Structure 1
Amino acid sequence: MEVEAEVLSAYIQDQSQFVLVDARTVEEFEAGHIDGASNLPLGDFDEMSEHLTLKRDEVVLVYCKSGTRAKKLANKLSAADYKRVRVIPSHQLKFIDGEVIFASLE
């Protein structure tokens, strides 16, 4: 379910191909997140799931700091019939002074 480095590289070059979702809390998201990401905290999924604007067939890339919440959220999205959900592995991200950036994909 993890996104491959090549697919992540494509995202970085053309963000219109994917929807980026941050699974962290609202407070963590507000402290810093990847540009263009939407916040869907894992803990809020059940109450927010009926109001999601995601299309069930679009590619959804989910991330968090360690990967644990992202994997759990990705499983919930998949169970809710979202077909193309992938997790960005934590080693492909850097969390520096409240900022979240993509790590080198080389």
Structure 2
Amino acid sequence: MTSLTPALTDVDAPALREWIDRHDDLIVLDVRSAAEFEGLHIKGSYNVPLPLLSEHADELAQRLDRHVVLVCQSGVRAGQARHRLNTAGLEKATVLTGGVPAFEAAGGDVVRGAQRWSLERQVRLAAGSLVLAGMLGGKLVSPKVSMLAGAIGAGLSFSAVTNTCAMGNVLARMPWNRTASEPTAQSAIQQLPSAG
């Protein structure tokens, strides 16, 4: 087996399919919520949600002695996870561009489960609904209610500039985005292959 290039920071779906076929020293780490992972994930991947990864990056970096490909819905959360793992000393982490949907579209081997809306879709619905409510409330209740639309616009702008999403973090904690078997730090770390 040839080793993967640690300097490579992003990989597209067709290349990842080849990597999975050719390399047994590869770990695919899905940083989406457990509910998103349950709905659709790359066969053989491990689920460590981003908040859990962020809190325990040092422990995870010690456990991950192989090349890691980080995946999420689009690549944004995987990029944040790579940054956190790099800070913890793991330099051989690559991000799948386009996320799990791109991998599936490229004919990759995926596992389907209970279907839920992605967090990105939920954020769009919540933000759009709040803007609409602010505009309607400004017309029908009080002009001051329209400030809600401005606040949501400011939040979305901040989200884009900082590449974070407070609304997504809040929605991820909602009951419909939880599974019966939410990973804990111990279960997330223990599921990974042992170092060595």
Please report the TM-score for the alignment, with normalisation by the length of structure 1. 0.75
Q: What does residue 54 of structure 1 align with?
A: 64
Task: Report which stretch shifted further, 80-89 or 11-20.
Answer: 11-20
Residue 22 (str. 1) matches residue 22 (str. 2)? no
Report how far residue 10 of structure 1 moved. Answer: 3.0
Q: How many pairs were matched up?
A: 98
The answer for unaligned runs of 5 or more in structure 2 is 1-8, 109-196
Q: Any idea what the Cα deviations from partners look like across 1:4-44, whole Å, max 9, x if unmatched?
A: 56752432313513110001011111222101101111111
Q: What does residue 106 of structure 2 align with?
A: 103
2:10 match: secondary structure: coil
Q: Which has the higher helix share?
A: 2
RMSD over equivalenced CA pairs, Å: 2.6
Percent identical among aligned pairs is: 29
Cα 1:70–1:14 change in 2 (3 A) is same
Q: Which has the higher strand share?
A: 1
1:13 partner amino acid: D
- Higher Rg: 2
Cα 1:82–1:72 change in 2 (3 A) is same
Task: Report which stretch shifted further, 1-10 or 29-38.
Answer: 1-10
| Residues 11 and 17 in structure 1, CA contact (< 8 A), matched pair in contact too | no
Q: Any idea what the Cα deviations from partners look like across 1:46-77, whole Å, max 9, x if unmatched?
A: 3333542312xx21100111111010001111
Equivalent of 2:101, from 86, 94, 101? 94
Tell me which of the two structures has the higher relative contact order, counting C-alpha pairs closer than 8 angstroms and 6 or more residues apart. Answer: 1
